[in-house]
């Protein structure tokens, strides 16, 4: 028998609407509807959230690891499971497990390991590299950045079976044939670690590059004589961009400007890593972010719920809109109308949190997650 329960006495963010004095009805794995609290069917268990916020589960399209497990350095199913459970407890119910530039062999091994999982929390892999611009490599090793060709891509993705969902590339260094190959594979193409000019970026957007990876970081600058990739991103009518709202990778004022320019096209990622002392990426925790041994900024330490909080407290974005940046907008980008919203038929992935942005409870497909 399907479980039936109602979350009551909270402020409900469904995605497009905000409700008070209403109840969210959940049946089995799915959202049933929102009703007046006086109209809850008798067969539904009532759960009083005591005035807290009820939001869709958060979605992170770029995260490398959590809780001491960096996937690229620990290519195991157990590593994926540990990352998933850590993120669930933080209210992140869907994510793309990401690998930064590495050898093709490591990428292929990661694909095989991921294929052996039955994950429903991790939605697929995001390969950030190796087809980047060395000039804007950031923490990526220059010696492992390679030029794209159809034959290399075919070798890399020959047996991916659709698990590679997203790839960050430097569009100015990738041929139209390679972009078309990724499109045929159904992979979401994102421009990043790029030194593209305004014209090169626009050409890429018109050719099928639909989003931009961590806006401002590791890309051509916004200059008054050449506005580069950021300027092209601002001015385009449909291209999206992710941004890291930790106040370190991008100043909060730059996030504010970006939000004003892009509206619903801007969404949140964490770009989060975890402490790691093996493999290519030896991440060292430094107060509130991670660096490589040489001091290069290598990843954030922010969570998705903290990103939402930062948007509200430091950037002045309304809470409902900050939530959409972490739920509805990334879900729409990856064409998942069953995620990122609390509407009829959507998966019952739910985050309940208080006004201090502390996670109270999390539900995944209608089941409460153990803390």
CATH of the domain at 22: 2.30.40.10
- pLDDT at residue 67 tops 80: yes
In total, the chain counts a number of residues equal to 371
64 and 206 in a single domain? The answer is yes
Whether omega for the bond prior to residue 130 falls within 30 degrees of 0, making it cis, is yes
Residue 224 CB contacts under 8 Å (≥ 6 apart), including other chains: none
Structural tokens at position 59? 């979605």
207 and 312 in a single domain? The answer is yes
Q: How far is 364 from 30, CA to CA, in rounded Å? A: 10
pLDDT value of position 119:
86
Residue 280 Ramachandran class (φ > 0 left, ψ -120 to 50 alpha, else beta): alpha
199 and 173 in a single domain? The answer is yes
pLDDT value of position 256:
98
The CATH number covering residue 307 comes to 3.20.20.140
- pLDDT at residue 247 tops 90: yes
Average of pLDDT values for 259-285? 95
The answer to whether residue 246 is catalytic is: no
263 and 177 in a single domain? The answer is yes
99-136 tens-digit pLDDT: 999 999 999 999 999 999 988 999 999 999 999 999 99
Buried b (16+ CB within 10 A) or exposed e, 8-47: bbbbbbbbeebbeebbbbbbebbbbbbbeeeebeeebeeb
123 and 154 in a single domain? The answer is yes
Range of the structural domain that residue 165 is part of: 58-333
pLDDT value of position 371:
80
Average of pLDDT values for 13-26? 97
206 and 263 in a single domain? The answer is yes
pLDDT value of position 118:
87
pLDDT value of position 242:
98
Q: How far is 154 from 132, CA to CA, in rounded Å? A: 17
Catalytic residue among 60, 246, 271, 320: 271
H or E element, residue 92 = strand 92-100
46-56 tens-digit pLDDT: 999 999 999 99
165 and 243 in a single domain? The answer is yes
313-334 tens-digit pLDDT: 999 999 999 999 999 999 999 9
Tell me, yes or no, if the pTM score tops 0.85: yes
Greatest C-alpha distance within the chain? 66
212-246 tens-digit pLDDT: 999 999 999 999 999 999 999 999 999 999 999 99
Q: Whole-number mean pLDDT of the chain? A: 97
155 and 262 in a single domain? The answer is yes
**Alpha carbon separation from 87 to 268, 337, 367 (Å, rounded):** 15, 21, 15
Phi and psi torsions of 294, nearest 5°: -85, 5
Q: How far is 45 from 254, CA to CA, in rounded Å? A: 45
359 and 324 in a single domain? The answer is no
Phi and psi torsions of 84, nearest 5°: -60, -50
Closest CA to 229 of 204, 252, 254: 204
Average of pLDDT values for 54-79? 96
Helix, strand, or coil (residue 220): coil
344-365 tens-digit pLDDT: 999 999 999 999 999 999 999 9
- pLDDT at residue 149 tops 90: yes
pLDDT value of position 1:
67
274 and 316 in a single domain? The answer is yes
Q: How far is 80 from 66, CA to CA, in rounded Å? A: 9
The count of structural domains within the chain is 2
349 and 317 in a single domain? The answer is no
18 and 52 in a single domain? The answer is yes
């Amino acid at each position: 028998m399907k479980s039936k329960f109602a979350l009551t006495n909270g402020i409900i963010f469904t995605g497009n609407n905000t409700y008070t004095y209403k109840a969210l009805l959940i049946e089995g794995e799915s959202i049933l509807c929102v009703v007046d609290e006086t109209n809850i069917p008798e067969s539904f268990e009532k759960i009083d959230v005591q005035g807290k916020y009820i939001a869709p589960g958060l979605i992170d399209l770029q995260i490398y690891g959590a809780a001491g497990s960096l996937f690229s350095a620990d290519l195991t199913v157990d590593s994926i499971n540990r990352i998933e459970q850590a993120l669930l407890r933080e209210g992140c119910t869907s994510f793309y497990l990401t690998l930064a530039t590495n050898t093709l062999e490591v990428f292929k091994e990661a694909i095989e390991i991921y294929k052996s999982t039955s994950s429903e929390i991790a939605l697929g892999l995001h390969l950030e590299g190796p087809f980047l611009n060395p000039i804007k490599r950031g923490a990526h090793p220059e010696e492992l950045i390679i030029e794209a060709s159809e034959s290399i891509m075919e070798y890399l993705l020959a047996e991916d079976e659709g698990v590679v969902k997203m790839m960050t590339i430097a569009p100015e260094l990738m041929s139209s044939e390679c972009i078309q190959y990724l499109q045929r594979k159904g992979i979401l193409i994102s421009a990043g670690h790029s030194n593209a000019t305004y014209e090169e970026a626009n050409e890429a957007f018109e050719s099928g590059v639909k989003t931009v990876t961590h806006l401002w970081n590791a890309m051509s600058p916004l200059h008054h004589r050449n506005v580069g990739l950021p300027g092209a991103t601002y001015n385009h009518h449909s291209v999206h961009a992710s941004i890291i709202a930790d106040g370190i990778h991008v100043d909060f004022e730059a996030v504010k400007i970006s939000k004003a320019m892009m509206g619903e096209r801007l969404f949140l990622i964490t770009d989060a890593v975890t402490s790691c002392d093996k493999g290519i990426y030896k991440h060292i925790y430094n107060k509130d972010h991670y660096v490589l041994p040489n001091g290069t900024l290598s990843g954030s330490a922010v969570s998705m719920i903290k990103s939402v909080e930062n948007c509200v407290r430091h950037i002045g974005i309304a809470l409902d809109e900050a939530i959409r940046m972490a739920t509805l907008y990334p879900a729409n980008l990856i064409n998942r109308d069953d995620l990122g919203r609390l509407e009829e038929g959507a998966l019952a992935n739910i985050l309940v949190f208080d006004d201090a942005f502390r996670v109270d409870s999390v539900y995944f497909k209608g089941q409460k997650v153990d803390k």
